[in-house]
Amino acid sequence: FWKTLGRCAELFAAMAPRGSKRASSAAASGLGTKRRPAAEERPVLAKCDAIGKALLAADPAVVPTSVAKMLAPMLRHSLGAVKEGRHEFQASVVDMVGDLLQTISVATQQAVEEAQGQIDGIDADRAARHAVLAAAQDALPTLQAAVAARKDVEAAAKATLSEANEKAAVATEAESLDKFSYDQAAAQVAELRAVLEALAALKGASADSSKEGKHQHKQLAHVSHKYALDTTLVEAVLKVLKREPEARQSFDLVSLGIFEESLSKLLKDFEERLQLHEAPQAEKAAAARAATEAAEAAEGAYGQSEAADKAAKEAERDGAQAIKAAQKRVGKWLHDTKVVMDGLDAKKQALEAFREGPLKLFDELKDLQPEPEPVEEVETEMPPTADVAPAPAVAEGDALAAATA
């Protein structure tokens, strides 16, 4: 189809008249020019134009606009030509136009039938609109009851969440306090162990022999004062640790032994305290973990409750809007019916106008015959007539006598 149409378009473009300088000169002088006949001078051209307008005015879904624009200018050169003189491509254009006009007619007839189907179903449409309204009205109380029921559920979920958050806060605080004591005891144990390690290192070397030794000596002094060890003992030990190991006396070694024993006893006490904290700390940590998880679960349940409450309210709102929409459609039934009826009348008129207009004109032109040659009238001379003398006048009496004779 498109290939044939394109070939026809090329052919008709080649057939279109082209101007020239000589023709322009002739036209300017008014000699040897032949004016293209206007549509009003040739009824055939007017009919072709009317069919072209029908193609251009057709629904693009029925006749593509590009097709109509290509075919309309070809009508004068194809449908306007006599059937016997048409070229192959001119005949193809006529066939295509005929098919398209039939397609338009069928589509218009279908539109009429669809509109008639709507008219035939107006009573059912009215009943359906009322049924939709009744269903929406019946559904609204259920939706309202669901919203009311959700209020109690949401209040319970909110109370559960508040209680769970409070328990989680208490458990977390208890865990934190116990953890502080546990961490404190653990720090003391670590500190005392480090001091004993420093003391062991200083037993074999003087505190003044290295930077590390001086640091360990200060660490021992700090811990001794921190835990309130015997001041005399601490001072004696600190002096002993600054001496070289071989320069230390027996008393010095006894002092170091007592000092080390004091630190070991202190470490043992803190280790026992730490051990006592371990079980309660684990229990409180587990309780805090459980309370936190319960609070998170309650928060999730409350979130779901809020979402369900929101959905119930939206459903209630949609139900109320559905009633309004249904009432509006019930109220518009008469108006809509009139619109459909008016549309049916308009479609029938359009179908009749198309069939009596473009379609009928096409039927007249598709088998166009040449116009008959005009017959010239020949004037004949009348033969001359002889002079005839007028009849003599007859008297009235003589005329009567002659009539009765």
Q: What is the DSSP string of 156-197?
A: HHHHHHHHHHHHHHHHHHHHHHHHHHHHHHHHHHHHHHHHHH
Average pLDDT (140-149) is 92
Q: Which residue did the predictor score with more confidence, 28 or 72? A: 72
Q: What is the pLDDT of residue 248?
A: 87
The SS3 assignment for 98 reads helix
CB 111 within 8 A of CB 347: yes
- How confident is the model over 370-382, as pLDDT tens digits? 876 665 655 555 5
- How confident is the model over 208-249, as pLDDT tens digits? 888 998 998 999 999 999 888 889 989 999 998 888 998 888
Is the overall model pTM greater than 0.75, yes or no? no
The model's confidence at residue 112, banded by pLDDT at 50, 70 and 90, is very high
Measured in degrees and rounded to the nearest 5, phi and psi for residue 209 equal: -80, -15
Q: What is the pLDDT of residue 67?
A: 94
- How confident is the model over 389-398, as pLDDT tens digits? 444 444 443 4
Question: CA separation (Å) from 315 to 86, 134, 145, 151?
Answer: 70, 17, 11, 15
102-111, 133-142, 174-183, 311-320, range with the lowest pLDDT: 174-183
CA–CA dist 60, 129 (Å, integer)? 34
Pair of tokens at residue 254: 């006894």
36-40, 159-163, 259-263, 305-309, range with the lowest pLDDT: 36-40
Q: What is the pLDDT of residue 162?
A: 92
